[in-house]
Amino acid sequence: MSASRKAVVVTAAGSGIGRAAAELFAVHDDPERAADLTRRIPLGRWAEPREQAGVIWFLASPAASYITGEVIVSDGGLSASNGLFLPPAPAP
């Protein structure tokens, strides 16, 4: 008697603050709010849709065939900093 095993691959892409979300929620309509949110991102900028799509492309590719049970976060370091505000920039 032989038993076959079926592999279940479960992965997810966790995106951070991207331009698409910013436009959807009209964040750029409030420059002060946009600046406050941008300060939280260690890379200092919002993700481009192509950058977030790259993670999804990778997870769907054969290169990720041995990855399961993982969330790959593409957020410019936001989660690594716990989303805390960085110190304010020095006054000019």
Query: Tens digit of pLDDT for each residue in 17-63?
Result: 777 777 766 777 788 888 888 888 888 888 888 998 999 999 999 99
Tens-place pLDDT, residues 51-90: 989 999 999 999 998 899 999 988 888 888 776 666 566 6
13: helix, strand or coil: strand
Determine the structural domain holding residue 42 and report its residue range: 13-74
22 in a domain, yes or no?
A: yes
The total domain count for the chain is: 1
Please give the pLDDT value at position 58.
94
DSSP state of 38: H
Distance in angstroms between the alpha carbons of the first and the last residue of the chain:
77
pTM of the model: 0.68
The closest of 92, 47, 91 to 73, measured between CA atoms, is 47
1 in a domain, yes or no?
A: no
55 in a domain, yes or no?
A: yes
31 in a domain, yes or no?
A: yes
50 in a domain, yes or no?
A: yes
51 in a domain, yes or no?
A: yes
DSSP state of 50: H
20 in a domain, yes or no?
A: yes
pLDDT band of residue 10 (cuts 50, 70, 90) is: confident
